[in-house]
Amino acid sequence: MVVVSKSTKTRMLKRAICFPLWAGPLLFGGLAPTFGGMSEALEEGLSVEFNDGLVSVLAHDVPRQDVIREVAAQCDLRLVQYVSLERSISLDIGAQPLHVALAEILEGESYQLYQAMSGAQDRGSDVIPGTLWVFSEGSSVAPAATLFLEAVFYQGDFQEKKEAIRELRRLGNTEAVRALSLALSDDSQTIRNTAFEALESIASQEALAAIASAVMDSDPRVRGEAIAALAAGDGETSARYLTLALNDPDPRVRVTAIEALADVPFGSVPSEQAVAALSRALKDDNSDVRMQAIESLEEIGGEVAFQTLTQARSDEDSDVADSLDESLLLLKNRK
């Protein structure tokens, strides 16, 4: 297991408490981010208070799931679970430090708690004060270092995030891919591009899926960066994702997707899927999109691309029409 050095931990996050950590099956349906403040509705028989750093819990026959969620809400923690906590418990914890309360609530389970280091709020960024991971005991050691690095993308500064991406790239496993996907929506373009490059380097199906998921990001800049990263991947798989991007509402993103389709390594025979997608792009409402579709078909070349351009109707935009005629002449001379 990779261990983050003590000095690195001091620079990034302060590890407040560490119990033996074990990982069972990943239960993604159980991921439950929670934040501070009183929840809208408390279960009957459950009361949680957090004052002056001390936690008080009163619960009578309440599922541990509800108890830990409410504690996370009151203590302003992001809660991530890899195990179900359905068993009901009864507790009476009076004004105890958080780690004492957690030890009683999570008896029989393993967990890790990370809290923001001193002065993190002074950096002026939105910082989640802490993250709590809960695991069940199992047969293999959980990726504690990966979880720590995941937390950096919520709480670290620029240099800390770059260091985390470098380490996750070296790890290259499924857990690392999941953590890297968090960096794809970072405010910094440099951090996003570095994370995309790391996922490209890992080159697993999980990494490709993580890149593809960014094509649906709300920020058109991120969508465009994801498209550029997809162009470097496996031909047929990348083309499938890129064709979906041709429906993007932002014409700049559609142009990027069309340009990327010509760069995907299809081999000696042009991809029928890509050419079919570019054929539809020739009818796009945006002239820049149509122009790029012509250029990409010209770059792909071959009989399929030539026939696609031949069948295109004369464009109402004179510049696009001239480009269409020039591409047809060039492709004809290549035969």
Q: Residue 269 corresponds to which amino acid?
A: V
Residue predicted with more confidence, 297 or 268: 297
Decide if pLDDT at 262 tops 60. Answer: yes
The predicted pLDDT at position 141 comes to: 39
Share of the chain above pLDDT 90, in %: 21
pLDDT in tens, 164-199: 898 889 888 888 888 898 899 898 999 999 999 999
Q: pLDDT class for 219, splitting at 50, 70, 90?
A: confident
The predicted pLDDT at position 40 comes to: 40
The predicted pLDDT at position 20 comes to: 29
For residue 288, being part of any structural domain is answered with no
The predicted pLDDT at position 173 comes to: 83
The predicted pLDDT at position 101 comes to: 92
The predicted pLDDT at position 23 comes to: 29
Which pair of structure tokens corresponds to residue 144? 């504690």
The predicted pLDDT at position 216 comes to: 78
End-to-end CA distance of the chain: 58
The predicted pLDDT at position 196 comes to: 93
**Contact assessment for residue 171 and residue 29, using Cβ atoms and an 8 Å cutoff:** no
pLDDT in tens, 41-89: 444 589 999 998 899 999 999 999 899 989 988 988 877 666 778 889 9
For residue 114, being part of any structural domain is answered with yes
Mean pLDDT of 251-262: 88
For residue 120, being part of any structural domain is answered with yes
- Burial zone of 29 (CB within 10 Å; 0-12 exposed, 13-18 middle, 19+ buried): exposed
Three-class SS state of 264:
coil
Question: How high is the mean pLDDT of the chain?
Answer: 74
DSSP state of 97: E
Q: pLDDT class for 260, splitting at 50, 70, 90?
A: confident
Q: What's the domain range around 124?
A: 1-143
Residue predicted with more confidence, 41 or 3: 41
For residue 222, being part of any structural domain is answered with no
| DSSP assignments along 289-310, one per residue | HHHHHHHHHHHH-HHHHHHHHH
For residue 333, being part of any structural domain is answered with no
The predicted pLDDT at position 13 comes to: 31
Q: How far is CA 66 from CA 42, 48, 89, 104, 159, in A?
A: 9, 11, 10, 15, 37
Candidate from 55-64, 139-148, 222-231, 259-268 with smallest mean pLDDT = 139-148
Decide if pLDDT at 220 tops 60. Answer: yes
Mean pLDDT of 246-259: 89
For residue 2, being part of any structural domain is answered with yes
For residue 89, being part of any structural domain is answered with yes
- In degrees and rounded to multiples of 5, residue 97 shows phi and psi of -60, 155
Q: pLDDT class for 94, splitting at 50, 70, 90?
A: very high
pLDDT in tens, 97-130: 998 999 899 888 777 776 644 433 444 444 445 6
Which pair of structure tokens corresponds to residue 173? 């496993």
Q: pLDDT class for 144, splitting at 50, 70, 90?
A: low
For residue 306, being part of any structural domain is answered with no
How many domains is the chain built from? 1
